[in-house]
Amino acid sequence: MSEYRAPLRDIQFVLKELAGLDEVAQLPGCEEAAADMVTAVLEEAARFAEGVLSPLNSVGDREGALFKDGQVTMPKGFKKAYKLFAESGWTALGCEPEWGGQGLPKLVVAAVTEMWKSANHAFSLCPLLTGGAIEALALAGSDPLKKIFLEKMVRGEWTGTMNLTEAGAGSDLAAVRTRAEPQADGSYRIFGQKIFITYGEHDMADNIIHLVLARTPTAPQGIKGISLFIVPKFMVGADGRPGERNDAWCVSIEHKLGIHASPTAVMAFGDKGGAVGYLVGEENRGLEYMFIMMNAARFGVGMEGVAVCERAYQRARDYAKTRVQGTDIGVRGGEKVVIIAHPDVRRMLMSMKAQAEASRALAYVVAAAHDKALHHPQAGLRKQNQAFVDLMIPVVKGWSTEIGIAVASTGIQVHGGMGFIEETGAAQHLRDARISTIYEGTTGIQANDLIGRKMAREGGATFSTVIAMMRALDAKLAKQDNAHLAAIHCRFSAAVDALLRAGEWLVATYAIDIRAASAGAVPFLTLFGIVAGGWQMARAALVAQTRIEGGDSDPFYPAKIITARFFADHLLSQAEGLASSVTDGAVSVMALAEEHF
């Protein structure tokens, strides 16, 4: 069974050539992200991912998290690994220096996060949720709450959770019934139950800080009546240390298809008199604050798609290079060859490789835009970059996680029958990846967010800006005297036309027939993801061609061009069909009466 190896060459290429690391490092507050510093961080992260986290991946899958009497015991090695993870400063990488963080930009954090998730998906979920809780508390919490909780969370001594979902409510947060009763001392007593709480209970940290959605007695109905509360597992004493147990208990953990080492808890609040909670921000603005966490988490879950593409590809590639089966096609009586020689295996590997590289490039470019939205000195450019980030987050989350499942499935196919056997490790990637399209909102939710809040609400303005950027790149491609780049130009130009046609149809239709528009939402998200991924791969091919023409003999560059050509031939070529599904497919989606299903 092969272990994970961080793809540092491609990560560095994307950071520098596509995401503009040097430009990000010049932003106020991002000066620490100089190239040599980032290289050192990436190399150290790679060592940790490869040497500590990757060997625990199969262990966690086999052993799983164990629940007994309200307590969760993590698989062998996880507690020690988390302690080393926190002590090494990885929990603080992107956090504000004011609270003990290192203040590195999101672009760098995204690259490091990819390594954690490729190496050990289940482990990576704990810092993912903690990071979201830190961000929400830092932006919306009162100074006393920040002083009590943030430094310990940033150092990794305490972890964080998101408590949104309730039984029977699912993604419908308007149905939340957990209640919060105000007390004379300014605190609240929380009563209710939450489900699907990732790392809601574990033994890796001294305290767990739950962020909980609940309603106060005077709250209006629906999503406008939701407030956000901090509910610590252990109350914090005057000395800043965990003290008596709060009335917040894990009553069970779920038995899941994958990510067995990530405890998914059912949490009960207030069964013994009321869990002590503290209001974050103002009453009835909880959903607004929780979306701070949710947007960070959605990007992080999108990185899970990128990460599993890379990890599944590596495992399939390594197997294909060593598995001897059959003679070379068209050769009678020849020597047996490794299966990577067979055209269909090569096609599958190229598909995996191309989608891994495209999704990585798109995610890193969005992360860089996030940094510009936060730190650029010009307000207009901050606004433009934030609009781009808002538009692209559902694409990064939805498309990357969907292709992550597809790539992991292809990895099993490359292994043949051995892929169906757990010992090869290929099946775990598919099982683990399957949750990512559901986490933090299903693909359908991401798609509806994309066409509604992100496109129709602003009349497609930001979408039009992205189309213009794609057109500008295509004009550069058209001027290249290279057969591969010419082929990419042909496919990319047609794909952008298809994306524009589908996008304009959705914006126009949304206002007059929202059901028809919604029926095409997921095909549109898929279309957008493929074209956006192709956009970044075409950019990469242009950079590579420039390097080759400049005399650089690194074999990385011609390989990048061929990979971009494959993406164009095999993925961008799907754009026209997807666009037709968007514009013409609603009738058949909605035509049958319910009794015909």
Per-residue pLDDT of the chain (597 residues; tens, 9 = 90+): 689 999 999 999 999 999 999 999 999 999 999 999 999 999 999 999 999 999 999 999 999 999 999 999 999 999 999 999 999 999 999 999 999 999 999 999 999 999 999 999 999 999 999 999 999 999 899 999 999 999 999 999 999 999 989 987 766 777 789 999 999 999 999 999 999 999 999 999 999 999 999 999 999 988 889 999 999 999 999 899 999 999 999 999 999 999 999 999 999 999 999 999 999 999 999 988 877 777 778 999 999 999 999 999 999 999 999 999 999 998 888 899 999 999 999 999 999 999 999 999 999 999 999 999 999 999 999 999 999 999 999 999 999 999 999 999 999 999 999 999 999 999 999 999 999 999 989 999 999 999 999 999 999 999 999 999 999 999 999 999 999 999 999 999 999 999 999 999 999 999 999 999 999 999 999 999 999 999 999 999 999 999 999 999 999 999 999 999 999 999 999 999 999 999 999 999 999 999 999
CB 250 within 8 A of CB 67: yes
Asked whether residue 486 is assigned to any structural domain, the reply reads yes
CB 300 within 8 A of CB 397: no
Terminus-to-terminus CA distance in the chain, angstroms?
44
Ramachandran region of residue 480, left (φ > 0), alpha (ψ -120 to 50) or beta?
beta
Q: What's 74's DSSP letter?
A: P
Q: Which of 440, 549, 576, 595 is catalytic?
A: 440
What whole-number distance in Å separates Cα of residue 227 and Cα of residue 179?
9
What whole-number distance in Å separates Cα of residue 117 and Cα of residue 307?
6
Residue 107 CA: distances (Å) to CA of 12, 66, 103, 136, 453: 11, 35, 11, 19, 25
Asked whether residue 539 is assigned to any structural domain, the reply reads yes
Mapping DSSP to helix (H, G, I), strand (E, B) and coil, where does residue 80 land? helix
Lookup: tokens for 90: 């990885």
Select from 355, 353, 352, 320 the least CA-distant residue to 338: 320
The domain containing residue 561 runs over which residues? 459-583
Asked whether residue 212 is assigned to any structural domain, the reply reads no
Mapping DSSP to helix (H, G, I), strand (E, B) and coil, where does residue 561 land? helix
Lookup: tokens for 362: 């798109």
CB 299 within 8 A of CB 128: no
pLDDT of residue 171: 66
Asked whether residue 554 is assigned to any structural domain, the reply reads yes
HSE (side-chain half, CA atoms, 13 Å) at 141: 20
pLDDT of residue 288: 86
Asked whether residue 559 is assigned to any structural domain, the reply reads yes
What whole-number distance in Å separates Cα of residue 520 and Cα of residue 349?
30
Asked whether residue 111 is assigned to any structural domain, the reply reads no
What whole-number distance in Å separates Cα of residue 356 and Cα of residue 227?
39
Residue 187 CA, chain-centre distance (Å), reads 34
**Consecutive H or E run containing 182:** strand 179-182
CB 306 within 8 A of CB 359: yes
What whole-number distance in Å separates Cα of residue 410 and Cα of residue 419?
10
**Consecutive H or E run containing 386:** helix 379-415
Amino acid at residue number 428: Q
Asked whether residue 326 is assigned to any structural domain, the reply reads no
pTM given for the model = 0.96
Residue located via tokens 């990885």 = 90
Is 423 an annotated catalytic residue? no
Of how many residues is the chain composed? 597
The tally of domains found in the chain comes to 1
Asked whether residue 99 is assigned to any structural domain, the reply reads no
Select from 406, 480, 473 the least CA-distant residue to 437: 406
Residue located via tokens 């971009």 = 564
Ramachandran region of residue 332, left (φ > 0), alpha (ψ -120 to 50) or beta?
beta
pLDDT of residue 292: 74
Give CA angle at 62 (58, 63), nearest 5°.
Answer: 115
Amino acid at residue number 377: P
pLDDT of residue 334: 85
